[in-house]
Amino acid sequence: MKPSEMDILEIISDAGQAKNFYIEAIQEAKSSNYEGCNELIRKGNELYAKAHRVHQQLVSEEASGNEVVITLLLSHAQNILASADSFKVLCDEFIDLYRRVDELSKR
């Protein structure tokens, strides 16, 4: 089975946008705007989940015994998805640190 280019581009687009939202959330946390930060994380999570669902369908397809053709574009999509996942983890850690710094500076 060769995945459709539209599915692959959806992964790239959604995961890329999710990564950008996570980066923006870190910047908002740096400015102590946690309300804006939370909204950006929510948006990022929605897009990441959407991209992950498309990717998971491809993984399930292959796990069912149907060969999935790996193209350079699909490899790129997987890379972007993994990058978004890493940024999500880093985003959570940075925001936690900024909250702690803000709490300590208020003492």
Q: Which residues are catalytic?
A: 76
Separation between Cα atoms, residue 48 and residue 38, nearest integer Å:
15
DSSP letter string over 76-92? HHHHHHHHHHHHHHHHH
Separation between Cα atoms, residue 11 and residue 90, nearest integer Å:
20
Q: What six digits make up the tokens of 84?
A: 């978004």
